[in-house]
Amino acid sequence: QVQLVESGGGLVQPGSSLRLSCAGSGLTLDYYTIGWFRQAPGKEREGVSCISSSLGYTYYADSVKGRFTISIDNAKNTVYLQMNSLKPEDTGVYYCAAGPRGIVTDMRTAKFDDWGQGTQVTVSS
């Protein structure tokens, strides 16, 4: 049974950092494209970043470039999203998802089959 479990969310002040984790079971994350998405209240879900580790490929939305870093620890079968210089507009529920390994140029149209339950990130003073 495939399972993705997110953790690491919380309430932080603007300018702070958080590291989100996406732990996989029932699948080897290195064989897939793993994406991070977020959804704020009243807004559409937004693709934030994804990694196709075995292809050496990462993707970042323009809104997070230079602030967020996606990485994978194959030994722990976990993908991380390091988020620095957080802004109030980064607030939302963050989900990780797994899809077929490939080069993703648009997370809105990429196929992701398995999803986690999400972790809340709130950036507020």
Could you read off the pLDDT of 26-41 as tens digits, one per residue? Answer: 999 999 999 999 999 9
Q: Name residue, tokens 């990429």.
A: 110
How many percent of the chain have pLDDT more than 90?
Answer: 94
pLDDT tens track for 47-89? 999 999 999 999 999 999 999 999 999 999 999 999 999 999 9
Burial of 56 (0-12, 13-18, 19+ CB in 10 A): exposed
Nearest 5°: the CA angle 103, 38, 78 is 60
Tens digit of pLDDT for each residue in 105-119?
899 989 999 999 999
3-state secondary structure at position 27: coil
